[in-house]
Copies of this chain bind each other. A is one copy, B any other.
Amino acid sequence: MAYNQDMSFVQKITQRMNNSLLCVGLDSDYEKLPDVVKKNSTLEESIFNFNKEIIDSTYDFVSAFKINVVFYAGYGISGLKALRKTNQYIKKYYPAIQIIADCKRSEMLRSAELAAKELFEEFLFDAFTVTPWFGYDTVEPYKKYKDKAIFITGHDSNPTAPEIQEVELKNGQFLYEYVAELIHKKWVQSGNVFIEAGLTYPKQLKKIREICGDEMIILAVGLGPQGGKLEDIVYGLNSKGNNLIISASRDIIFASLDKDFSVKARDKAKEISENINIIRREFVNSSLL
């Protein structure tokens, strides 16, 4: 299918995943930005200008951009203005690239409608992350946004994720397995509900892929500083070496804090994206043996 603007989230991202599974996380924490972008600039300008350069230099190696909303909201209205400007920029110059909000929402009913309005309409995201804690009420309202998507946090990448997510149930499952099954069997019917999982827990990532099957798009988080290893993406790939979006942020956007930050970000994005493709090819070839 040739690219066109009217394609849905899943159509657009499927097209991009042929070339790259890498998702660059624009977690552009103002405090950590290179001095060169901060000099003589407001907070809003600094964040936007930094993002603009990162986007322009990495776009051809990404399947999607991911934005952790609190990295902007933490700086109040000015931070949120920089966020909206960033997304406007991506929509204008790179409309084929989808933008995922990492915001772990738990809204329902009217609140969920307003979350959709906030994230899809006001801030121009194409997808966002949602927690399963409140059950189907926090998923159902988004199913009507067929051209958009949500990712439900399945097994997360943080150290204490198992405290709740690996509680053992009466039926012998771990809680995250029960949730993955709920998502796969009951919650996913509209083709726009997907799952997030941590690369830092490869065994659990593998289990989620087994439960959810080849069609499921998994957003893998935790690569790099959090401890997730690139070779472990094989546990998240589907049988065709696909349907896995692998997010990396600090390793790329802060690859250098000097004037060359965008060049270094590009080099790093290229390197990770290519390494992912090598692993994909080897994975598919070994499956064919």
Contact = CB atoms under 8 A, between A and B. Distances in A.
Interface stretch (A5-13, A14-22, A117-125, A272-280): A117-125
Interface string A47-58: 000000000000
A114 B164 contact: no
Nearest to A108: B158
Interface centre among A117, A135, A156 (most CB of B within 10 A): A135
A1 to B, nearest CB: 33
Q: Interface size class for chain A? A: 35 or more
Interface in A22-57: 29
A132 interface: yes
Interface in A63-87: 68, 70-71, 73-77, 80-81, 84
A166 B265 CA distance: 46
A122 B29 contact: no
A77 B182 CA distance: 35
Interface stretch (A88-96, A167-175, A206-214, A227-235): A167-175
Interface string A140-183: 00000000000001001011111111011110100100110010
Given A111-B68, A169-B168, A175-B175, A74 B162 contact: no
Contacts of A162: 135
Contacts of A109: 158
Contacts of A113: 74
B131 A133 contact: yes
Given A133-B132, A161-B134, A163-B182, A118 B77 contact: no
Given A104-B107, A110-B29, A76 B160 contact: no
Contacts of A132: 133, 164
Contacts of A121: 76
A133 B167 CA distance: 11
B164 A118 contact: no
Contacts of A76: 84, 118, 121-123
Interface of A: 29, 68, 70-71, 73-77, 80-81, 84, 104-111, 113-115, 117-118, 121-123, 131-138, 153, 156, 158-165, 167-170, 172, 175, 178-179, 182
